[in-house]
Structure formats: structure tokens, C-alpha cells
Structure 1
Amino acid sequence: MNQTTRDRINFTNLNVTNNATLFTIKGEPGKLIGDPYLDTTWQAGNVKFYNKVGVSLTNDSLAGVPVRLDLSTNEVEIKAGPKSVKAVKSSAVRYVDRNNLFGSVSRFVNVHEYQGEAESLTGFFEQLVNGGKLDLLQYPSVYIRKANYNVAMNTGTKDDEYMKKLDWYVARDKKAVKFSPGKKTILELMDDKKEQIEAFLKTQKPDLKSRSGLTTVFAYYNKL
């Protein structure tokens, strides 16, 4: 605040010191908006545990139960009744198969089923392509974008917000590394079949930034 402005305020019997905070946030306080779920909808799924569940000596899974994934706590939520929800830490779950928004079934496998860069992660990989020379994986996570409200300028937002993030990983012999999709990266990964992959990219023209495009390329490579 410049001296002229300070003098005008002090003239009206409002004492403003050099360190005073004149402006405060007026109105309702900020909230945390959004949600931490990969998909808020309860989807039918199967859950495979590392250990036996309940009092059973043989059963290590639940089948046909409504599930969803909380990315903020890395928990699998299981709907046990109209008003009952059980939360299971990801460390206890080997994988979850659940219906997805694309009309098929997705498998979310514990990241610690892989080595390499997966060892520093917590939660689940979605296995888009699995069982061949290369696994195509997507790692969903969530973070909170903090409020950026500027009191003096009355700009920005007072609300914190959940933000979803999807990172790509690829695994060979169960060793996962993060990668950025693109033609150059794909050809480096599939160097042993470079000519076939180049021909496939030229004729099929898959979108290497999309889920479906990458799935198509990796599935083709694994068949070569």
C-alpha cells in the first residue's frame, strides 16, 4: 500500500500500520470440491485378496460385489448393504476386476505385483494389455489443487479441488517404467519388431495419445 493511500485511510481514523493486513476473505469459506474416486459409480466386480477372508480357510476372493476405488486413501470400497460400506487397504488386495465405462471389464492389479519404478508407488495399475512381451499399464492417482484466491484482486477460487491424474507405464518381465506415449517412444520399446510396427502405424494410424490407440499397438506387438 502506498503512503498516499495509507494517509487517506488514517485520516478517517482507521489506523493502518506497515504490517497490517487490511483485507480478509469475505463470504463463505472455501470447500474441498470434487471426489477422490476413479469412478463414483458402484460397479459390479470381483476382488482377489492376498489372504483368506473372514473365517473361511479356502476363500480368498469376493465375487459379484459393488466396488469402487478411492484414490486418495488407496482403498477398495465394497458395498455390503444399502447403508454399509467396507473399505479395504490396497495392500491387502491382489487385484480387482470391475465393469468400466467402456462396456468391458478392467483389471486393477496391485502395483507391487511389479518391480522397477512400481516399487515407489501405492495403489493399483489398470492392466490394459497384459500377458505378452510388454504390459501396457495406466496408473490412476489424485491430488488436491489448493485454493488460489487473491483477496485484494478478488480473483481465483477459495475452494480446494480434487484433481485426477492418469500416468502411463509399460512393463517388460514385470519391471515397470513410466513413459510418455509417442511414435519415437513406441518404436524404441518395440525395437525388435521395428519394421512391422512402423508399417502398422503407417497403415492403421492409431492415436498414440489415446487409450484405444495404444491398446491396439501393444496388442499387435505382443502377437508378433
Structure 2
Amino acid sequence: MLGKILCIIGLSAGLPLGCLAQVSEATKQSIVTGKGLNVPRSGVFWTTPTENSGVVGDFYIDSLWRKGHVKLMKPVAQVGGLESDSIAGIDIRYNVLNDELELLADVAKKDIRVIRGSQLKSFKSNGDLGTVEYINLADHDPKGELKGFGAVLASGKLTLVKAFKTKITKPNYNPGFGTGEKNTIVRISSDYYLLTPSGAEKVSLSKKSFLPLMSDKKVAVEQYTKERNLDFKDETQVAALVQFYNSK
């Protein structure tokens, strides 16, 4: 694991992917300790995650480290002149507040590196219920209004995503009475979007919100919902409906 991460982090020091076996031990040590990596030279990696003093609460979609696969916005050079935009077999977790994907480089040393969200096209995380793909919402919004990442619930002509965002409550401490909260409180919330080649449509989990967007297959969709007595407040059932629509 560490060997893979070292190889990846070498990009920030100007080294091509896969070349650590060809550099000196001193250079390897410099990479693993983060020396000289305090600025994202390659535009991809930082040394450590952004610190948030005085901020407490929920920061992650999933706070556990999960095995994952990363797809970058742009390919990076490898040894032999080849390029790759993918990194596989790494431990990751996504910080919604900072829009950073954290990579666990060394468990014992608690060495964490990050990839900024703007450099990521997507990532896949292997959780308790299987593999979930998260896509960069900005990459699917021609208006440039969306940001962050959303979990893909159904994909095809219509892609249903659950987009994660932070809800922030500012400190309200009153020193005169000694009451209130001194810290900024962060909570994770979510919205739903239907993505099409032409853009993104915000939707709610309701019949009124979804059916008009499937009007070109109205008869089949209405029959599907009626036969299954579909509960539009259940995202799993709605995702199945979108997948059914895509199959027609």
C-alpha cells in the first residue's frame, strides 16, 4: 500500500508515475515526509489535509477508510511515455467540507495526503453495501452552479445522483451567560439531481418531481409505478424507476 502511495505522491515532486524504484533513498524519504510538497506543484497533491480549527461535526460522506479507485481530470505521465488518469487500490475518504479526497499513505504514521476535488473526475469506494461511484458534479453542469461530489444511484440517459453538501451553524456563544456553542458546527446534508447530456435538474423524492422528466415514456413509467405501488420517498425504489426508464 505505502509503495503505491509513494509512487503516486512522486507526481507532486515532479516524478513520473511508477518511477520510485529509480530514485535515491534520500529522494524517497523526502517524498514520504512531505518535504517540499507544501504547495501543489503538480496541481494534484497537497502534503496534508486542510486544518479546520474551531470546527466540529461531520465532515465526511463516510468517515471510515475504504478501498477505492480514483479517476483524475487529466492523465499524468508514466515511465515509458504512457499516460494514465487512474489510481487504483488505495484507502480513501472524501471530506465534503474541504472538497478534498484524503488518501491514507501510512497507517502507522497517520500519514494522510489529499487530492483536491477540482482535480478529480470521479472516485469509487468499496463500502459495506458494495461499490459506490461518486462523480464531480461540476463536470456535469454546463451552468457552472454545482460543485462537490454525488453518489450515482442510477445511470444512463438519465443519471440520478445524491449530492452531498455541508450545513454550517456559526458559533453563538454568549460569554456573559456562559451559554451557547463556541465552535462552528458542520453537518452533512444531501440533494438529488437528474443529470442529462444538456445539464442537471434538481429533483425531490416525489412523483410530481420525477414523472414530468420521463414524459417521453409516460405509459411505461406510469404502469411500472402502479404495478409496484412505488414509494417515491424511498431513494432505492426511485433509483430502480430511473434504471427502468433508461432500459426502455
Normalised TM-score (structure 2): 0.69
Aligned residue pair count: 192
Q: Which residue number corresponds to residue 86 of structure 2?
A: 61
C-alpha offsets along residues 71-91 of structure 1, whole Å, 9 cap, x if unaligned? 111111111111211111111
After superposition, the Cα gap between the structure-2 partners of 1:100 and 1:144, relative to the gap in structure 1 and judged at 3 Å, is same
C-alpha offsets along residues 34-53 of structure 1, whole Å, 9 cap, x if unaligned? 13111100111000112344
Is residue 103 of structure 2 the alignment partner of residue 78 of structure 1?
A: yes
C-alpha offsets along residues 169-211 of structure 1, whole Å, 9 cap, x if unaligned? 1122251121222112221011111122122112212321222
Query: What amino acid maps onto 1:86 in structure 2?
Result: R
- Give the alignment partner of residue 138 of structure 2, picking from 99, 112, 115: 112
Q: Which residue number corresponds to residue 67 of structure 2?
A: 44
Q: Which residue number corresponds to residue 129 of structure 1?
A: 154
Q: In the TM superposition, what is the alpha-carbon distance from 1:158 to its structure 2 partner?
A: 4.4
After superposition, the Cα gap between the structure-2 partners of 1:84 and 1:189, relative to the gap in structure 1 and judged at 3 Å, is same
SS class of match (2:243): helix
Runs of 5+ consecutive residues of structure 1 not aligned to the other structure:
1-30
Q: Which residue number corresponds to residue 206 of structure 1?
A: 230
Counting aligned pairs with the same residue, the percent is: 30
Query: What amino acid maps onto 1:61 in structure 2?
Result: S
- Give the alignment partner of residue 141 of structure 1, picking from 151, 157, 165: 165
Is residue 220 of structure 2 the alignment partner of residue 193 of structure 1?
A: no
Q: In the TM superposition, what is the alpha-carbon distance from 1:126 to its structure 2 partner?
A: 1.8
1:113–1:174 contact (8 Å) kept in structure 2: no
Runs of 5+ consecutive residues of structure 2 not aligned to the other structure:
1-53
SS class of match (1:190): helix
Normalised TM-score (structure 1): 0.76
CA RMSD of aligned residues (A): 2.3
CA distance in 2, matches of 1:186, 1:165: 21
Q: Which residue number corresponds to residue 199 of structure 2?
A: 175
SS class of match (1:68): strand
After superposition, the Cα gap between the structure-2 partners of 1:148 and 1:209, relative to the gap in structure 1 and judged at 3 Å, is farther
2:77–2:83 contact (8 Å) kept in structure 1: no
Q: Which residue number corresponds to residue 14 of structure 1?
A: none
Query: What amino acid maps onto 1:171 in structure 2?
Result: L
Q: In the TM superposition, what is the alpha-carbon distance from 1:214 to its structure 2 partner?
A: 1.3
Q: In the TM superposition, what is the alpha-carbon distance from 1:154 to its structure 2 partner?
A: 7.3
Is residue 244 of structure 2 the alignment partner of residue 220 of structure 1?
A: yes
1:72–1:143 contact (8 Å) kept in structure 2: no
CA distance in 2, matches of 1:129, 1:164: 22
Query: What amino acid maps onto 1:145 in structure 2?
Result: T
SS class of match (2:118): helix
1:168–1:178 contact (8 Å) kept in structure 2: yes
CA distance in 1, matches of 2:123, 2:198: 18
